[in-house]
Amino acid sequence: MVKSKYITSLLAKAKQNLKTIVLPEGEDERVLEAAHIINDEGAAKIIILGDVAQMKAHFAAKGWNTDGIEFIKPEESPRLSEYTELLYELRKEKGLSKEDAAKLALNYNYFGTLMIKSGHADGMVSGANHSTADTVRPALQIIKAAKKGGSASSFFIMLSNDTPYIFSDCGIIINPTDKELADIALNAAQTAILFGIEPNVAMLSFSTKGSGKGDEVEKVKRAAQIALEALQTDEYKNLGIKLDGELQADAALDSVVAAKKAPNSNVAGKARVLVFPTLEAGNISYKLLQRLGGCEAYGPILQGLNAPVNDLSRGCFAEDIVGAIAITCLQATK
């Protein structure tokens, strides 16, 4: 049973356009429970990687239905050699040998990512037992950023009293350049549109419109400028995206503060997409809001990739995994 109203609404959308999601961590009971909930809801087709006999025994012990779920042990998959060959072809110019490709394809995160690349799955959710780097690296190497030269980054959906906000980047790019920060902002704006959130983007800083000084402020100003120029192009100009920076968080969110600090801004006071100047700022902010501010946090969800691959926190609960799967399904419909 899913408690979050927001995730229930995403599951309803997922049901309308069934996607196939691979879960590479079949050894984890939280992952199995999430797979069962999704399967029971009929919200996606689920593939779980792991020891098939053990996974099925767990389902049987719990009295859960396995119909509709595909269980795969990568070591025994008839597609292993096909995936190994694909990995070798994709990475040989980067120095990957055939022997190393054979070993790497057996890594479940690589196997799952290769399933997506081959069209056998639409998205992947992993990270209940893996670091962000181990989950995300195969996606960056194999699925790749959607735009040539563009950056993939990540976002969290933060629910404050059921009102959703996008926070980005809280998971991938440690210290973005101005260009990378502009990419984060543009990707986050498109993410907001996809999730039905108003694309009012605030480029956050410790300064509002020149109130503070320093290289960090200048970087955010340049990033805002780059993003604003991109918004004039055909790709973005009709999407209704509003973007402003640099803004402090209070000016971004509070209309009274906004009227004092940034009276001419079209975003201040009504931002729904918060773009952080560094990973440190974003990651610390989301965790504080989750632990002290009573917000629900879903993510990190990757954006800017050719297909959705999403990471979990190792402290996640089964319901968080259900949320990540629902979000991944929605991203896969793009």
Ligand X SMILES: CC(C)(COP(=O)(O)OP(=O)(O)OC[C@H]1O[C@@H](n2cnc3c(N)ncnc32)[C@H](O)[C@@H]1OP(=O)(O)O)[C@@H](O)C(=O)NCCC(=O)NCCS
H helical segments located in the chain: 5-15, 29-41, 52-62, 80-91, 98-105, 108-117, 132-138, 178-194, 215-231, 249-253, 255-261, 279-291, 318-332
In 3D space, the residue among 151, 116, 142 whose CA is nearest the CA of residue 22 turns out to be 116
**Among 10, 104, 158, 173, interactor with ligand X by CB under 6 A:** 173
Binding ligand X by CB under 6 A: which of 60, 133, 256, 259? 133
What is the nearest approach in angstroms of ligand X to the Cβ of residue 326? 19
Start-end of H helices in 146-263? 178-194, 215-231, 249-253, 255-261
Select from 174, 256, 259, 288 the one that contacts ligand X (CB under 6 A): 174
- Structure token pair of residue 212: 């503070």
The DSSP letter of residue 36 is H
Member of 7, 11, 37, 145 binding ligand X (CB under 6 A)? 145
User: Pattern 262-291, binding to ligand X, x per CB under 6 A?
Assistant: ---------------------x--------
**Smallest distance from ligand X to CB 6, Å:** 21
Determine, following the binding rule CB under 6 A, whether residue 300 of this chain makes contact with ligand X: yes
Q: Tokens 């309803």, residue?
A: 12
> Residues in contact with ligand X, total (CB under 6 A)?
17
Angle at 150 between CA 199 and CA 245, to 5 degrees: 40
**Cβ closest to ligand X, residue 39 vs residue 135:** 135
Residues that bind ligand X (CB under 6 A): 94, 132-133, 136-137, 140-141, 145, 151-153, 171-174, 283, 300
